A and B are shown apart, each in its own frame.
Chain A
Amino acid sequence: MFEGLMQNLVFGILMGALYGLAAVGLSLVFGVTKFLNVSHGELLMLGGYASFWLFTLWQVDPFVSLPAAIVFLLVVGAIFYKLLFGRMVRLTEGEKIQKTLLVGFGLSLILQNLAIHFWTADTRSITTWYSGAVFAFAGVRFPLVRVASMVIAFIAVVALQWFLQRTYTGKALRATVENWEAATLVGIDVQHVYFLSFVIGAALAGVAGALVSVGYSIEPTMGMSWTLKSLIVMVLGGLGSITGTFVGGIILGLTESATGFFLSLTYKEVVGLVLFILILIFKPQGLFGTQGR
């Protein structure tokens, strides 16, 4: 029984790392631009399919093709920004959130159905020669692929944090989050900052998606579920904190696993959503709190 629980919790942490990564991407975009891009999950889905097809058609190892997935999502993100989201930069904060929600949702519908059209609705997964590799420790099995995914997710988040804390551009991003007027008066091109955050957020989603495709499975309709998970984690982890969000992802993963173990699978799928609603209702600031300033 105990081992069963430990196994479950381990799986929860491994999954949670990917929740965290996805959420960090969304959080970055929302924090800087106040765009609530609910097609974030579809961007993740695209990352997953990029990885899948590179592997299926040209036998490129999914971990090796990660940079390609990143580049792909940077480009896709740039296109969506220029075409759609970039037009909403000048709106008031309330309008921005509302309109990007609607636009993001329309976009997610388009992407979902195009994916179904081109790739069929079948569930896909990448199976490499090492997919079955597992190492065992204290009676608990650690699937190698998932552990590697968690490590990569962790590295990605650390890299992002380094970028934000140690580079001029990263600091410009943080300055814009705090006070875009003061930022622009220092010579920061706020438009450019918005663009950058958006495409980086997309790239992070892409990485998460690629990792999901090899350790788990992907399908065209996975977007909404992942967008919701990202939203839940964003709210759980507290806005404005990259590490907080990542940890929030792990917490969600753990919570889901524990719920699934102690209650049932139905509740596992639902517990995150319930948590989400409770936090929205009881946490006074929720998503739009003035970030403490």
Chain B
Amino acid sequence: MLRVENINAFYGDLQALWDVSFQVNEGELVALVGPNGAGKTTTLRVISGLLRQASGHVFFRGRDLSKEAPHRIVELGISQVLEGGKVFTEMTVLENLELGAFIAEARKVKDESLKWVYQIFPRLEERKSQRAGTLSGGERQMLAIGRALMSKPKLLMLDEPSFGLAPILVQQMFEMIKEINRQGVTVLLIEQNVRAALELTHRAYVIENGRIVGEGTGEQLLSFESIRSAYLGDGNV
């Protein structure tokens, strides 16, 4: 469904991604793991169009995304949740969700989508009239994901959904992500919390210093010696 081929990306003169290639098949839950600053977020930004790559291609359902504006990419079916779950704090939970259904296709089915999101995240329905700025960190993350779901994406990209969450909430969060995937949304997940990510996913890629250095199923990677020591030894890198 998503094919990333030989992406080289720069911030100014600084190269951030080197020949990054990977793919995500329909229905999968794929993780992109790696240490801080490895280029995970950069990769997502290239896919969603926020950052223009210097060379390489991103194919989504056969279509080259290179020339598309970010809002068009949303229309094509990719929805990204930014790191830290950036919600529109001045608006209510409901307004945030409604904005999630901004694109024409999604607006038509807004009410159904809303029901669907409330089903996955009941807490959001409780708080629907509250200003998003008053939500807790975990709730904001849920809202951000819920908002992304409102556009009925084929591919959902999550940037560090567990970031800043208490361990119990992390577990819940991943349960919800699994549920979303079960309901038919393909998911690409970025995580620093490698163990949790690897336990969750079908497949994962490891990225370090802007390069893909490993690939395999969750179990395979979990058993790699290097991964164990680098990431799972004495806490996160």
Where the two chains meet, the residues of A that have a C-beta atom closer than 8 Å to any C-beta of B are: 168, 171-172, 174-175, 178-179, 181-182, 184-191, 293
Query: Which of B87, B95, B151 sits near A187, CB closer than 8 Å?
Result: B151
**B102 and A168 contacting across the interface, CB-CB below 8 Å:** yes
**A175 and B99 contacting across the interface, CB-CB below 8 Å:** yes
Known: A168-B102, A171-B95, A178-B90. A186 touches B151 (CB 8 A): yes
Residues of B within 8 A of A185 (CB): 48, 50, 70, 74, 79-80, 82, 148
**B91 and A186 contacting across the interface, CB-CB below 8 Å:** no
**B91 and A187 contacting across the interface, CB-CB below 8 Å:** no
Interface centre among A168, A175, A187 (most CB of B within 10 A): A187
**B102 and A186 contacting across the interface, CB-CB below 8 Å:** yes
Name which residue of chain B comes closest to A178, CB basis: B88
Where the two chains meet, the residues of B that have a C-beta atom closer than 8 Å to any C-beta of A are: 48, 50, 69-71, 74-75, 79-80, 82, 86-91, 95, 98-100, 102-103, 106-107, 147-148, 151
**A181 and B82 contacting across the interface, CB-CB below 8 Å:** yes
Q: CA A189 – CA B86 in complex, angstroms?
A: 18
Residues of B within 8 A of A187 (CB): 71, 74-75, 102-103, 106, 151
A78 → chain B, closest Cβ, in Å?
20
**B99 and A172 contacting across the interface, CB-CB below 8 Å:** yes
**B82 and A182 contacting across the interface, CB-CB below 8 Å:** yes
**B82 and A186 contacting across the interface, CB-CB below 8 Å:** no
Residues of A within 8 A of B71 (CB): 184, 187-190
B110 → chain A, closest Cβ, in Å?
10
Query: Which of B89, B100, B107 sits near A293, CB closer than 8 Å?
Result: B89
A223 → chain B, closest Cβ, in Å?
33
Residues of B within 8 A of A168 (CB): 98-99, 102, 107
**A174 and B88 contacting across the interface, CB-CB below 8 Å:** yes
Q: CA A112 – CA B113 in complex, angstroms?
A: 53
A241 → chain B, closest Cβ, in Å?
11
Residues of B within 8 A of A188 (CB): 71, 99, 102
Given contacts A182-B86, A186-B148, A188-B99, 10 further A-B contacts (CB under 8 A): A171-B95, A175-B91, A179-B88, A184-B50, A184-B69, A185-B48, A186-B102, A187-B75, A187-B102, A188-B102
Known: A185-B70, A187-B151. A171 touches B99 (CB 8 A): yes
**B102 and A172 contacting across the interface, CB-CB below 8 Å:** yes
Q: CA A181 – CA B71 in complex, angstroms?
A: 10
**B90 and A174 contacting across the interface, CB-CB below 8 Å:** yes
Between A and B, 29 residue pairs with Cβ closer than 8 Å are: A168-B98, A168-B102, A168-B107, A171-B91, A171-B99, A174-B90, A174-B91, A175-B88, A175-B91, A179-B86, A181-B50, A181-B82, A182-B86, A182-B87, A184-B50, A184-B74, A185-B74, A185-B82, A185-B148, A186-B102, A186-B147, A186-B151, A187-B71, A187-B103, A187-B106, A187-B151, A188-B102, A191-B69, A293-B89
Name which residue of chain A comes closest to B133, CB basis: A293
**A186 and B50 contacting across the interface, CB-CB below 8 Å:** no
Residues of B within 8 A of A189 (CB): 69, 71
Name which residue of chain B comes closest to A176, CB basis: B88
**B87 and A186 contacting across the interface, CB-CB below 8 Å:** no
Residues of B within 8 A of A190 (CB): 71
Name which residue of chain B comes closest to A185, CB basis: B80
A95 → chain B, closest Cβ, in Å?
14
Interface centre among A171, A186, A189 (most CB of B within 10 A): A186
Residues of B within 8 A of A175 (CB): 88, 91, 99
B203 → chain A, closest Cβ, in Å?
25
**B69 and A186 contacting across the interface, CB-CB below 8 Å:** no
Name which residue of chain B comes closest to A169, CB basis: B102
Query: Which of B69, B88, B95 sits near A182, CB closer than 8 Å?
Result: B88
Name which residue of chain A comes closest to B90, CB basis: A178
B160 → chain A, closest Cβ, in Å?
15
Q: CA A21 – CA B90 in complex, angstroms?
A: 23
**B86 and A186 contacting across the interface, CB-CB below 8 Å:** no
B84 → chain A, closest Cβ, in Å?
10
B221 → chain A, closest Cβ, in Å?
29
Q: CA A95 – CA B82 in complex, angstroms?
A: 25
Q: CA A182 – CA B132 in complex, angstroms?
A: 14
Residues of A within 8 A of B75 (CB): 187
Name which residue of chain A comes closest to B87, CB basis: A182
A243 → chain B, closest Cβ, in Å?
14
B149 → chain A, closest Cβ, in Å?
11
Query: Which of B74, B89, B90 sits near A186, CB closer than 8 Å?
Result: B74
Q: CA A213 – CA B182 in complex, angstroms?
A: 65
